[in-house]
């Protein structure tokens, strides 16, 4: 799946008029808000399997994103 990051950066550059975007790997959650918006957009246009997750995202997006980050950090502390 190496093509996905390239495709996202290409789309970003086209949408931003050629402004270069640089992502480093120090924050692997940097794209979570973008992916959340993509899930919400898809749910608005297609039938989705996990309606409970979509409802959680819609109800309080900032809380959902904070929960993702907290679960990620908790997992990193256990494995590191």
Q: For position 16, what pLDDT does the model report? A: 62
Q: Is the whole model's pTM more than 0.85, yes or no? A: no
Helices (H), the chain: 3-15, 32-45, 51-59, 61-79
Asked whether residue 11 is assigned to any structural domain, the reply reads: no
Which residue segment(s) compose the domain that 51 sits in? 25-79
Asked whether residue 17 is assigned to any structural domain, the reply reads: no
Asked whether residue 66 is assigned to any structural domain, the reply reads: yes
Asked whether residue 5 is assigned to any structural domain, the reply reads: no
Does 6 or 78 have the greater pLDDT score? 78
Give mean pLDDT, residues 26-32.
Answer: 78
Asked whether residue 12 is assigned to any structural domain, the reply reads: no
Q: For position 56, what pLDDT does the model report? A: 95
C-alpha span between 39 and 32 (Å, rounded): 10
Asked whether residue 54 is assigned to any structural domain, the reply reads: yes
Asked whether residue 42 is assigned to any structural domain, the reply reads: yes
Q: How many domains is the chain built from?
A: 1
Instruction: Count the neighbouring beta carbons within 10 Å of the beta carbon of residue 23.
Output: 13
């Amino acid at each position: 799946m190496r093509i996905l990051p390239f495709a996202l950066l290409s789309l970003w550059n086209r949408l931003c008029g050629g402004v270069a975007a640089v992502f480093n790997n120090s924050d692997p959650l940097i794209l979570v808000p973008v992916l959340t918006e993509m899930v919400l957009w898809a749910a608005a246009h297609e039938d989705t399997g996990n309606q409970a997750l979509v409802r959680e995202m819609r109800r309080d997006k900032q809380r959902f994103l904070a929960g993702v980050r907290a679960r990620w950090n908790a997992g990193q502390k256990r494995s590191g």
